[in-house]
């Protein structure tokens, strides 16, 4: 049977050893559209291709707030370029949006620009914790 001091040492050391086993996870920040920003000039649907995006990563949407915005929608809103009931609208021209785990959908409420490809679907995954 372990003595009280040994038991307390195990209680303190075990969590510390677990923490050392895990990588430090830090959210990455991405500017959507890179140098072009959030725009209808090119299809935004292609921007996430080739990137591994994780839940907690931050997307920065830079755009002309006088003509566009960013709307977080569901898949139906994305596919049809419509704002649904649960949509969240950002209008600052420099929005920072944290990705949720799983499917994340973004459009502009400017229907013409959305139809030109100013919309994006991202599936954010969980970062690998173990080294």
pLDDT at 7: 53
pLDDT at 25: 61
Phi-psi region of 91 (alpha: psi -120 to 50; beta: other; left: phi over 0): alpha
Flag residues of the chain having pLDDT under 50: 12-13, 16-24, 130-131
Beta carbons of 106 and 118 less than 8 angstroms apart: no
Domains of the chain: 24-124 (2.60.40.420)
Nearby residues of 46 by Cβ (< 8 Å), 6 or more positions away:
none
pTM exceeds 0.85 for this model: no
pLDDT at 27: 86
Q: Which two tokens stand for residue 30?
A: 């991405």
């Amino acid at each position: 049977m372990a003595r009280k001091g040994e038991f307390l040492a195990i209680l303190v050391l075990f969590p510390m050893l677990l923490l050392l086993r895990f990588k430090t996870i830090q959210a990455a920040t991405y500017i959507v559209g890179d140098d072009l920003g959030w725009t209808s000039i090119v299809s935004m649907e292609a921007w996430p291709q080739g990137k591994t995006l994780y839940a907690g990563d931050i997307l920065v949407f830079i755009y002309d707030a006088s003509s566009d915005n960013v709307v977080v929608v569901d898949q139906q809103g994305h596919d049809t370029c419509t704002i649904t009931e649960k949509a969240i609208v950002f209008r600052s021209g420099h929005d920072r949006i944290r990705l949720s785990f799983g499917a994340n959908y973004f459009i502009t409420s400017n229907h013409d620009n959305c139809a030109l490809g100013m919309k994006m679907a991202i599936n954010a995954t969980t970062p690998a914790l173990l080294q």
